[in-house]
C-alpha cells in the first residue's frame, strides 16, 4: 500500500511540484526585470558575469584563512553529492528507468562508498559550523536548518538502503527524496539552480560599472 503510494501517486505529485516550483521561481525572478542603467558602460557586462561565476569558486585572500573549513567542507559536500546523485549505480538505474530512458556508466561501488562518506562529513561539518558560529547562527533561518536536516535524512535513508536487500528501506529512501523534491523549490535549496544566474547578474552589474569582480 505504502509502496504503491510512494512509487505512484506521490512520486508524480513530487515530480510536478518540483518542476512547476522551479519554473515558477525562475519566471518570478525574470519578471522582476532589471533596473535601468543610465550610466555609460565602462566595461563588458558579459565578461563581468563570467568572471563573477568563476570568482565565486574560490575565496578572497583577505578572508580565506577564516573560512578555510567552510570552503573545504563545502567542496566535499557539493562535489560528492553531485557524484552520488548522478553516478551512483542505483541512481543511474532509477533515472534511466523513470526519467531519461537511457543510462550511463556508474561509478564503482568503492567510489560510491567513499563519496557517501565525504558527503556526509561535509554536510555535518557545515551544519555544525552554521550552528556554532555566532554570525552564521544569527543569519540562518529556520528554512536553512530544515534544508540541512532534510538532506541529511535523505542521505541517511540512502545509506540504510545501501545493500539494496530490503524493499521497505528502498521505499523509505524514495519517500524522503520525494519530500525533499516538494520542499526544494520553496527553500534555500534553490541555490543549486540559481547560483549561476545570481552570480552572473551581480557580475554583469559590476562589470558594466567597471568594478573589479
Partner 1 sequence: MLITRFTGDSDSQRFRLRVTIQHEDLLDGNIKMARVNNKKSDRVRKTLFFCVLSLLIVVTVPLVPYAIDAQAVAEKQIKADNVVALPNPAINLWNEVRQRNAITEGSSQVKSVDSGILINKAGEDWRRFRMEILVPYGAFSMAAVLLSLIAFFLLRGKMLLPEARSGKRILRFTLNQRTAHWFIVGLFWLLAITGLILLYGRIILIPLLGAEGFSITATACKDVHNLMGPLFLFAVLAMFLLFVKDNFFTGADLKWLAKGGGMFGGHVSAGRFNAGEKIWFWLLIIFGLSLCISGLILVFSIFGQGREVMALSHMFHGISALLLISVSFGHIYLGTVGMEGTLESMTTGYVDESWAKAHHDLWYEDMAGASETTESADKNSQAGIVASGIANTSHK
Residues engaged in binding partner 1 (CB under 8 A)? 63, 66-67, 69-70, 113, 116-117, 120-121, 124-125, 128-129, 132-138, 156, 159-163, 165-166, 168-169
Minimum distance from residue 128 beta carbon to partner 1 (Å): 5
The residue among 53 and 116 lying less far from partner 1, judged by its C-beta, is 116
57: number of Cβ within 10 Å: 9
CA distances (Å), 81 to each of 153, 167, 208, in order?
14, 23, 35
Minimum distance from residue 156 beta carbon to partner 1 (Å): 7
Minimum distance from residue 11 beta carbon to partner 1 (Å): 22
Q: Are 137 and 95 in contact (CB under 8 A)?
A: no
The residue among 105 and 135 lying less far from partner 1, judged by its C-beta, is 135
The residue among 54 and 63 lying less far from partner 1, judged by its C-beta, is 63
Task: Take residue 102 and report the three cell numbers written for it.
Answer: 537511457
The residue among 46 and 64 lying less far from partner 1, judged by its C-beta, is 64
Minimum distance from residue 157 beta carbon to partner 1 (Å): 8
Instruction: Calculate the CA 149 to chain-centre distance.
Output: 14
Minimum distance from residue 67 beta carbon to partner 1 (Å): 5
Q: Are 24 and 191 in contact (CB under 8 A)?
A: no
The residue among 80 and 204 lying less far from partner 1, judged by its C-beta, is 80
167: number of Cβ within 10 Å: 10
Distance CA 124, CA 74 (A): 10
Q: By C-alpha distance, which of 44, 76, 71 is closest to 57?
A: 71
Amino acid at each position: 500500500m505504502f509502496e504503491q503510494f510512494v512509487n505512484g501517486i506521490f512520486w508524480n505529485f513530487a515530480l510536478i511540484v518540483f518542476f512547476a516550483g522551479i519554473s515558477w521561481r525562475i519566471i518570478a525572478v525574470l519578471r522582476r526585470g532589471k533596473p535601468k542603467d543610465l550610466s555609460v558602460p565602462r566595461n563588458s557586462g558579459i565578461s563581468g558575469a563570467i568572471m563573477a561565476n568563476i570568482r565565486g569558486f574560490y575565496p578572497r585572500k583577505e578572508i580565506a584563512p577564516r573560512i578555510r573549513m567552510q570552503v573545504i567542507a563545502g567542496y566535499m559536500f557539493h562535489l560528492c553529492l553531485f557524484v552520488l546523485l548522478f553516478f551512483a549505480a542505483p541512481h543511474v538505474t532509477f533515472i534511466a528507468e523513470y526519467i531519461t530512458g537511457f543510462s550511463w556508466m556508474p561509478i564503482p561501488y568503492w567510489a560510491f562508498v567513499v563519496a557517501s562518506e565525504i558527503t556526509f562529513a561535509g554536510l555535518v561539518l557545515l551544519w555544525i559550523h552554521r550552528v556554532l558560529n555566532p554570525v552564521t547562527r544569527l543569519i540562518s533561518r529556520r528554512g536553512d536548518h530544515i534544508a540541512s536536516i532534510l538532506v541529511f535524512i535523505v542521505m541517511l535513508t540512502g545509506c540504510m538502503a545501501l545493500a539494496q536487500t530490503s524493499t521497505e528501506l528502498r521505499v523509505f529512501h524514495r519517500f524522503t527524496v520525494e519530500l525533499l523534491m516538494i520542499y526544494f523549490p520553496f527553500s534555500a535549496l534553490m541555490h543549486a539552480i540559481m547560483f549561476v544566474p545570481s552570480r552572473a547578474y551581480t557580475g554583469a552589474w559590476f562589470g558594466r560599472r567597471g568594478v573589479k569582480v
